[in-house]
Amino acid sequence: MKIKAFTLAEVIITLGIIGVVAALTLPALIANKQAKELEVSLKKNLSVIQQALIRIALEDGEPVSPLNLGNRELKPKLMKYMNVLKDCGLGTEFGSCVPNPTSVQDASATYKTYNKSRDVSTNSLDDGQFILTDGSMIILENNHYLFDGRYRIYISVDVNGFQRRPNAWGHDLFTFEINDDGKLIPMGTEGTYFSDENVYCSKSSLAAENGIGCTYKALSDPNYFKNLP
C-alpha cells in the first residue's frame, strides 16, 4: 500500500512562495488599513466639532463666528462640550503640545507639509490646543489676525494624535474654517482662505501652509487617502 505525501523540498518551496506573496501584499494591506482609519477618524471628528459648535450656539443664542467671538474665546467654549483629556495651553508657551517655534525659543515644529518637504507654519496652530479622550487633538486659530480685511477662525484636528505619525497637514492633520455665518467649512472649499489647490494641497508646492487646504478633498474624494504623497 502506497502513501502519497509531499516531499520536504515541495513543502519548503510552497512555504517560500507563500512568504514571498505575503511580503508583497502585507505592506499594501497595512497601508490601506491605516488610510481607512484616518478617513474614519476625520469624519468622526468633524461630527464631534459640529455638535459642539451647535451646543455653543444654542447656549449663546448666536452662531459661533468670527463676528461674535473675541480673541481666543473659542477654546474654553469648545472644551466645555468636548471630552477633554488634557489642556495643552495655547501653543505659544513652554509645555504646549505643539509649540510655535516663533514664540517658544528652541521649539521645533511637530508637523510637516502635505508633501513633507518642510515644516509647516504654525501661525495657524497657536490659539488653543487640547487633547480629547480618544487621542485626537484640537488646535485653534482665534487671534483675529486680519487676512484680506476679514477676520477668520480655524479649527484644526490631528485625527490620531500628535504623538503618532505621519504628523503632516493633509495626512492626519486637517483644518476647517468657520465663516461669518457660523458654518464649519472644510478648508480648500471654494471661498475658504486656503482654497488654491496648487499651493495649499499640492505634491510639489513648497509653501509652509501646503496641506492646510486638503480637507475638502479628503472628505469629497473617495480615493484621497489611498494617494497620499
pLDDT at 101: 67
DSSP the chain: -------HHHHHHHHHHHHHHHHHHHHHHHHHHHHHHHHHHHHHHHHHHHHHHHHHHHHHTS---TTT--TT-HHHHHHHTS-EEEE---SSSTT-SS--TTTSTT-----B-TTSSSBPPGGGS-S-EEEETTS-EEEEE-S--EETTEE-EEEEEETT-TTSTT-BBTTTEEEEEE-TT--EEETTSTTSTT--HHHHS-SS---TTTTTT-HHHHHH-TTGGGG--
Q: Please give the model's pTM, rounded to 2 decimal places.
A: 0.86
Q: Give the model confidence (pLDDT) of 127-155 as tens digits.
A: 999 999 999 999 999 976 655 667 889 99
pLDDT at 34: 82
pLDDT at 204: 97
Predicted confidence (pLDDT) at residue 108 exceeds the cutoff of 70: no
pLDDT confidence bin for 114, thresholds 50/70/90: very high
pLDDT at 98: 84
Q: Give the model confidence (pLDDT) of 19-73 as tens digits.
A: 666 666 656 656 677 888 999 999 999 999 999 999 999 999 999 999 899 889 9
